[in-house]
Structure formats: C-alpha cells, structure tokens
Structure 1
Amino acid sequence: MPVDEEARLTRSCHIMYMWYLLALHGLKYSDWRRRDLPLPDDIPLLVKQQLLGAFTVKADAARSRRAMPPRLKDKLLCYILVMGLIIEKFKLNLNDIQMDLKIAQKKLLTLTRAIGCDVQSRKPDRSMGEIQKIAVLPIPFKLPDPSKAKGRKGGR
C-alpha cells in the first residue's frame, strides 16, 4: 500500500470495488433465483444499485428477480480486468485472475485484447511451472482502426 494517505485511500477504494465486482461475478444460478441477491452486507446501497443497474436486467418485475445475460457477464469481466490493471499498475498476471474467475483462458485472452492490452508469455523461474500470461496496457494507448474492423462486405 502507498505511504501517502490520499493514495492509500484511493487504492483501498479500488480494492473494495474490485471485491464487490468479484462477489457479483461469483453468484450461482440458485442465488439469482432468490428475491434478494446474497451480496456482501457492507456494500453501500448506492454502489449496489449501480452494480445491479449496470450488470443485470430485471427478469421478473413482479417478483423483483434479476438475471445476468452473457453480454453483461462479459462486461462485468471487462470491468474486473480493468480494475485489476489499475490496482496492479497496468500489468496483470492472467493466470492468477483466471483461477479466481474460473473461466477459460481463451475467453480471458479475448476479453483482455478487447480492452486494448498486449498479452506477453513468460516462463516461470521454476522449470516445472506453466507459462505465465501477463496482460500489459501499453502507453500511449492505441485505439483500433475502425476501417480494418469492418470485415468483409459481401456482394452476394
């Protein structure tokens, strides 16, 4: 943690927000069936409303049930990756976060590249360990060229 009090407060707020995001991501199907989602008790009401508004949709308005479609789950994963990058000073070990999130490496690499990170492979110090994937956000940040992303226009 930083020595400066203001920087320490900012970093601890980032860590708490990341914890709330991870708690929302970790909800199981049976949790979504409940009327009240089992989120942490100490989460502020304003933050809870923001998270539910950004990452869930009302599945049944009469029973106040919520659901998280795949596109919003991917959005939540991107937020988690960005918060991890901010906390770790824009270098994130993807092997660690993959175990925490319990998602496939291919999907994690796709989302990492979608937010603009370069992925580097690094051999561990020990010869028996697996290759580590490190996501690095390059500076200056380069946005993708929209003319190349259009794809093939078929004249069929």
Structure 2
Amino acid sequence: MPIIEEIVTKSSNSKAVIVDFENGKIEPGQENTLKTGMYKDKECREFVSISSEKVLYTGDVCSDEEYTSFIMVHNEENNTVKLIEVDHCSVAPQIYKENSMLNYSMESMDKSVSELNKQFGSKKAKRATEQRERMTMNIDAVKEQVEKTAEKTSVENAPVQTVQEEDSLYRPKINRDASTRDGVYDLDDVIPNGVLDTLIPQASAVLNSGDSVDEYQLTPFCTDSIKKILSLNTPEEIKVRNIAIFFYINYLIKFMNTPFKNITKRYVACDISQEVNRHILDNFCVYTQNGRTRPIHMKDKCLCYIIVLAAIAKEYEVNVALLSKDLKIGLKKAVEISKILAFNTSSKDKSIVTLNLPLPAPVTFNSKRKMK
C-alpha cells in the first residue's frame, strides 16, 4: 500500500484547477499555442481564461465547500503518493465578451480618430470624416420615429382572391365539359390555322422526302417527338400537322432560351415564317414605352402552351423531364404547371404527364403566390 508522502492544499499563491472543454479536447501538440490565466471579477468570483489564435474560452471555477477534490500522483519507485487539492472548471468558446480589464471601447476610439483627422488630417481625410459624421444616424431617434409612424398606420385586410382556370391570362382555354380528350383543348385556340399552315411545307418535307430530322437542328425534345410521330401508324395528314406543331414548339423553346437582352426590335423568333414570328412576339412578349419585354409570367405562358401543344400532337402524353432539360428549368416546376393544366403524372414514370378523362379537380391558387 503506497504511503501518502505529501498533501498540497490550496493557498493564495498557487491553486490547481481541472479544466474541461465543452466542445472537444486539445489536439496533441497544440498545448504550446494556448495562453491561459486565472482571474477574479468585481464580485471576487474566480474564472479561467484560455485563448488560442482564433477562439477565447472562459469558465467559472467551481469550488464546493462540502467536499474536497484531490489529484493523486503515485511515485512507483518510492511507492509514495502525493495528493494535490484541485477545483473544477468547464470552459466554453466565447463569440464576444467585453474585456472589463482593458476597458476598451470601439466607440471612444472612433471618436478619437475622428478628432485627430479633423485637426491634423489632410483635406481629403477631413472631408471624409465630416461626411461620415453627417451620415451617422441616431438609432434611438429613428426607432422612436418608426414606432410613431407604425401607430398611425392602419392596415386593411383585403380578402384573398382565388384565381380560377377561366381567369388565367397565360393558360390556354380549357373545356371541362368535353367528352373526349381532343375536346379538352382546341388547337385553334392555341395556334390559329393560318399560322400553323405556314409550317406545313417544312413538315411535309420531313415526311415525304425522307429528310433526317437531325438535319433541322431542333431541340432534343422536338427531335425525339417527331421521330416517334414518324414511327406511328397514323394518316399522313395527321402526321404532317403534328410535325408542324413540334416545329412551332421548337421556335417557342428557342425563344424562351434566348437571353432577354437579345430580344430587341430586330429579333426574329422564326426565320421561315413571318406569321409564326409575329404570333410568338405578339403573344409571348409585352410592349412598353421602352420597347419589347418578356416578364416571368410570359415564360410561364410559354411553358403552358408548349405542354398543351405537345400533348395534342403526341397522343396526350408529354415527357416533361426531357422538356425541362431543353427549357433549362426544374422538373418539379414542369410537373406543377402540368397539374394546373389538368394533367396527371404517370403511375409508371413520374417524368411523364398525361391528359385523361375524367379531368382532375381544378387547381386554384392564391393570386399572391409566385410560381417557382
């Protein structure tokens, strides 16, 4: 049994403290980078301060009068034991703590610097100091002024208006009483016959001359859709019409992807048909005193028309995943727009939306809501 050789108790000159770090432990080799000390505040409470290059740790020293803690140091050679009385302290990082010992005040330092600049600074420094002082605001005065203004302000809670399908400015007209799918959306309401007819020669060339669709440099969504139309066993007249629709969709997609700054007075949305070019610019742009603009709601309108046209031309089934890649938008937004247009997501593939009867319930939304 070891013999207690010495008992070291606390004194006014020395004191041992066991320190715990709340957020971790000291990494090996980092002991020499820390600076530590024990201090007393105005109320004679003892605390430990440990600082690294970036963080300051502080904590109060806990000393319980009911019991005494010791650290036992065992010397195996002499088989003796030394007991050292200790206190405990848990330190935590301090984001900001005012140093009362230094009595350091940023406000007073700024004031001193300003006075020095006024008396001994250059003309530029004096001018900058005076300008900064004029711009300094009295926070309490401003707060009081805002509170008085808020008391006098009354807010009327206007009733929230719900936008219905028939009130929409950018969705194609829908017929919910239709008995067949082709009666839900009328192609003439989306593209007038005279506009679509100008694309028939180009569509006929693809069908009759055997030209490769890839030669027309269409978007991947339109190229893939036209290839599938060519493989279907449907009358040529319907094939030509559907191919023409996807040529129109191709020009709409390119219009949406064109940077706004490039849509000037000389901008051409379709170079093979003046009617298509005029129809796109008149229906998907807004004319102001400063010229032609394309606000966000017009891009939403483009997306609505593209989905409806693609559904009409492709047996009421649209691959919105491929379409969203061409339009550089999120798949989630394309699916949400599709649901507003009465489409349902396919049970087998969530990237496919279909138009089926009976139609789902109308999707209504708050007029203040922004589509993401």
Q: Does 1:48 align with 2:277?
A: yes
Does the Cα contact within 8 Å between 2:344 and 2:356 map onto a contact in 1?
Answer: yes
Does the Cα contact within 8 Å between 1:122 and 1:133 map onto a contact in 2?
Answer: no
What's the CA shift for 1:117?
A: 0.5
Q: Which secondary structure does the structure 2 equivalent of 1:92 belong to?
A: strand
* Whole-angstrom CA distance in 1 between matches of 2:334 and 2:318: 12
What corresponds to 1:120 in structure 2? 346
What's the CA shift for 1:122?
A: 3.8
CA RMSD of aligned residues (A): 2.4
* Whole-angstrom CA distance in 1 between matches of 2:365 and 2:250: 37
Q: Does 1:27 align with 2:258?
A: yes
Which of the residues 309, 312, 320 maps onto 1:83? 309
Structure scoring higher RCO (CA < 8 A, sep ≥ 6) equals 1
Does the Cα contact within 8 Å between 2:286 and 2:292 map onto a contact in 1?
Answer: yes
Q: Please report the TM-score for the alignment, with normalisation by the length of structure 2.
A: 0.33
Q: Which secondary structure does the structure 1 equivalent of 2:247 belong to?
A: helix
- Which structure dedicates a bigger proportion of its chain to helix? 1
The 1:18–1:150 alpha-carbon spacing in structure 2 relative to 1, beyond 3 Å, is closer
* Whole-angstrom CA distance in 1 between matches of 2:234 and 2:334: 33
Report matched runs for 1:86-125 at 5 Å: 86-120=312-346, 122=348
Does the Cα contact within 8 Å between 2:268 and 2:277 map onto a contact in 1?
Answer: no
- The size of the alignment, in residue pairs, is 135
Q: Which secondary structure does the structure 1 equivalent of 2:292 belong to?
A: strand
What's the CA shift for 1:121?
A: 5.3
The 1:55–1:150 alpha-carbon spacing in structure 2 relative to 1, beyond 3 Å, is closer
Q: Does 1:8 align with 2:239?
A: yes
* Whole-angstrom CA distance in 1 between matches of 2:365 and 2:242: 39
What corresponds to 1:139 in structure 2? 357
Does the Cα contact within 8 Å between 1:14 and 1:87 map onto a contact in 2?
Answer: yes
* Whole-angstrom CA distance in 2 between matches of 1:37 and 1:119: 36
What's the CA shift for 1:139?
A: 2.0
- The structure having more radius of gyration, on CA atoms, is 2
Which of the residues 245, 266, 282 maps onto 1:36? 266
What corresponds to 1:129 in structure 2? none
What's the CA shift for 1:3?
A: 5.2
Q: Which runs of 5+ in 1 are unaligned?
A: 124-131, 152-156
What's the CA shift for 1:31?
A: 1.0
* Whole-angstrom CA distance in 2 between matches of 1:150 and 1:111: 12
Q: Between the two proteins, what is the percent identity of the paired residues?
A: 24
The 1:41–1:133 alpha-carbon spacing in structure 2 relative to 1, beyond 3 Å, is same
* Whole-angstrom CA distance in 1 between matches of 2:292 and 2:274: 17
The 1:118–1:3 alpha-carbon spacing in structure 2 relative to 1, beyond 3 Å, is closer
Does the Cα contact within 8 Å between 1:23 and 1:40 map onto a contact in 2?
Answer: no
- Which structure dedicates a bigger proportion of its chain to strand? 2
